[in-house]
Structure 1
């Protein structure tokens, strides 16, 4: 039965509407994955020597054991955001004589061989091999590696248990900060407390039974929870929501575009994920304090270009990269109506433009750290307005993955594809490269003026660029509609 499930998943992958358009991007992501694996193998292979030279008076295995508690908590924290339970089209299977236990075991087994688990394997395995070459007992090292893999699986299945709870994320983050703070200020010797526990997995091979037992327990807790939810009518229960109203009549001043602006503002305010983008953008205004207040970055002027593009364009990136997937729930209905697509895209551009202007105004106080900061932020804002807005709208035409706005913003990777990663190259990498080259070849003034001029040229070509982008959306129209209908995309 597992073989049939794998065959179904394989066909679903190749028959997906997003497969053909992203073939080149998938190849790029494969090469990126190979690079990541190579980097992990390299670091894992040299970790023994790194620890030996950094701590000549301590055994490398002991030093690694002292920090494993942070690795577990940090991995669990980031998996909350990045990892999700492998999905299949389960409902059609429930109408066939297939045991729920078989479906559940398959889903959980798939998650056990996910890329996140393999990353830890490629890191710790080379370290274990180096230990063997340095005369460490074979039995101890092999069972220690088994313990590490069991811990990885335990983290994998615990993540599925807590992934729907935002409170769990706060608890994990608080524990990490609390342990680090207690250790850093020498209030409680955290590493000295947990070090012997994890080092015992190497010293006492029989201790491998503990992480293995915990991994099995986490597996069966997931099994029981998931199996109890495999019913055809599990999603038939109606949800009640509190209606919210707001006065947005002022948007009518924008004419035909005002209707779209009003819908966008209502969508942002009424849904968790879009509302989170606004709050995250406002929080990142303080991101500059990390760099402007550190002397080590005082002479790294190109870093200020990164800050300028990033801070003034944070909403542009977070919100803009998922256009028009935000409207995926009713995009097919919109395309069936006599709705001017040009006005639709222009309203998105206007909304993002306002966000860039607001974010720039919020960064003005950074002039306290020098006029260069203000000038770079201004040039970056103009560049974002004139160049990056058309770029992000153009890349939006490649979005074919649905977004359910009702889902929690934490750990929600719906709508994310390789496009979202590649789009950062022209949006973030290109202006920084331009600024850096001109700064070192000519001056900071030339770099700021060039970014501003590119933004102004983008303004001058606004109508032409929007017309071209509109044509691109019309070409991709039916592919986007088909993609947005795939609820597990």
Structure 2
């Protein structure tokens, strides 16, 4: 217990003493604002479901309980961008006389007690008050809320297991895909699936306070906690005690870039950084999987045939690559920024190389859109206009972060690296780079229709591309004015 309290205290102190603490004020405000927004959103849905499910052949809470499986799947997806692994807090303690197993135990317990596991109660508690109270009173609402919380704790440990394994080997993504694919098949293929009845019985057991239901839930949580413990102990041990492999099996020189001189050299550096380092490779793989999945669903199914969803997938597929890598512009280079600064105008050349490389990379989502174009889901003009707009206007916005980013991102450590939220500018520009194009698209289409909108986007993007040398030079000069402040931030935030 003492170790748990000490870790909690140290976590708070580490955040306050971090050199990025003052710059994270905006991110902290934005995080609290979004938490309040989603809490209100869930309360609205809980109330809506209570009245919407009422009056049917079954009680409203039976209908809600039948959908608990879908809530768990949605909760799993929601955790992806927001929840970090507990092992990322371990690094400062690895050289201290603290048992590694005890350390992981405390971190797993803290993860189970995280407030993130309470967010769904904003939907289920109002729902229970309106539907369960009339039959089971306040006690039913209380036991139901506890049961839902335990269900989310179980889902928390299930997510941690999948995320830990996927971070180590990408093919572990098959584990959640097979599990959720099997559940979907068991729910949708039979006419009367027993999984719905099982889900209803589980919720009924929570409402009635059935001891066997709660004991079974606690046993499932304990089993998942034990599996996580064993996996994390082994992986942390392997990472801490890894031996650097000095045998080079294959070296990619990218000799075709020699013809482009110094810019080609920096493009080669960027390619090697993305394809050789763990963090970058993992990001590339996740982007590839999501983009390919969205493209296939749009092209070969009718799931996203609505105009709004088509626009969302189209914009998302073009922007996601830049959002991930350009939102941390210069943060990866923070690991070796002193070497870059030793040569005159090397930063400017690096920025030009990055812009050229990421501009060429937009061809990948453009190619993935071809099946949707062939099937008539999207037009050629829409895809080309968004590709040009993203490379021009969106990349212009993201490249401004080169001036303001001052936090080094570790290139290799995953299990034991500590990651903090970005600066205010990083959060603002990254969020706006996706939300503003969506809003602009909706406004332009409402005013002038699809064709005129795509031509406007094409012209705006082309203007930014044609003037890229001028605004890249401006970004470079502003960076150089702040170079000592930025370099200090990069040095202080290195792992």
User: 1:310 corresponds to which residue?
Assistant: 316
1:484 deviation in Å? Answer: 6.4
User: 2:164 corresponds to which residue?
Assistant: 164
Residues 329 and 9 of structure 1: is their aligned pair in 2 closer, same or farther, counting only changes over 3 Å? Answer: same
1:260 deviation in Å? Answer: 0.7
> 2:155 & 2:221 partners in 1: Cα distance?
8
> 2:345 & 2:464 partners in 1: Cα distance?
26
Alignment of 1:375 with 2:381, yes or no, is: yes
C-alpha offsets along residues 292-322 of structure 1, whole Å, 9 cap, x if unaligned?
A: 677897783x765545443344433333223
Residues 392 and 191 of structure 1: is their aligned pair in 2 closer, same or farther, counting only changes over 3 Å? Answer: same
> 2:159 & 2:44 partners in 1: Cα distance?
28
User: 1:135 corresponds to which residue?
Assistant: 135
> 2:317 & 2:91 partners in 1: Cα distance?
44
User: 2:60 corresponds to which residue?
Assistant: 60
TM-score (norm 1): 0.82
Alignment of 1:113 with 2:120, yes or no, is: no
1:123 deviation in Å? Answer: 2.9
User: 1:387 corresponds to which residue?
Assistant: 393
Alignment of 1:473 with 2:473, yes or no, is: no
Give the CA RMSD over aligned residues: 3.9
> 1:292 & 1:464 partners in 2: Cα distance?
39
Residues 349 and 193 of structure 1: is their aligned pair in 2 closer, same or farther, counting only changes over 3 Å? Answer: same
> 1:346 & 1:459 partners in 2: Cα distance?
12
> 2:160 & 2:441 partners in 1: Cα distance?
43
CA contact (8 A) 1:268 1:275 kept: yes
Residues 423 and 205 of structure 1: is their aligned pair in 2 closer, same or farther, counting only changes over 3 Å? Answer: same
Aligned residues: 483
Runs of 5+ consecutive residues of structure 1 not aligned to the other structure? none
Select the residue among 322, 330, 348 that pairs with 1:324. 330
> 2:92 & 2:343 partners in 1: Cα distance?
32
C-alpha offsets along residues 395-416 of structure 1, whole Å, 9 cap, x if unaligned?
A: 244444443443579xx99576
CA contact (8 A) 2:386 2:457 kept: yes
User: 1:21 corresponds to which residue?
Assistant: 23
> 1:432 & 1:76 partners in 2: Cα distance?
25
Alignment of 1:199 with 2:204, yes or no, is: yes
Residues 169 and 74 of structure 1: is their aligned pair in 2 closer, same or farther, counting only changes over 3 Å? Answer: farther
CA contact (8 A) 2:132 2:140 kept: no
Residues 52 and 284 of structure 1: is their aligned pair in 2 closer, same or farther, counting only changes over 3 Å? Answer: same
> 1:359 & 1:9 partners in 2: Cα distance?
40
CA contact (8 A) 2:263 2:352 kept: yes
> 2:446 & 2:479 partners in 1: Cα distance?
39
Alignment of 1:175 with 2:179, yes or no, is: yes
> 1:395 & 1:164 partners in 2: Cα distance?
30
> 1:392 & 1:110 partners in 2: Cα distance?
35
Of the structure 1 ranges 359-368 and 118-127, higher mean CA displacement relative to structure 2 is found in: 359-368
User: 1:123 corresponds to which residue?
Assistant: 123
Runs of 5+ consecutive residues of structure 2 not aligned to the other structure? none
Residues 457 and 282 of structure 1: is their aligned pair in 2 closer, same or farther, counting only changes over 3 Å? Answer: farther
User: 1:154 corresponds to which residue?
Assistant: 154
After superposing on structure 2, the runs of 4+ consecutive aligned residues of structure 1 that deviate more than 6 Å are 94-102, 223-231, 292-299
Select the residue among 17, 22, 35 that pairs with 2:37. 35
Alignment of 1:268 with 2:270, yes or no, is: no
User: 2:422 corresponds to which residue?
Assistant: 417
TM-score (norm 2): 0.81
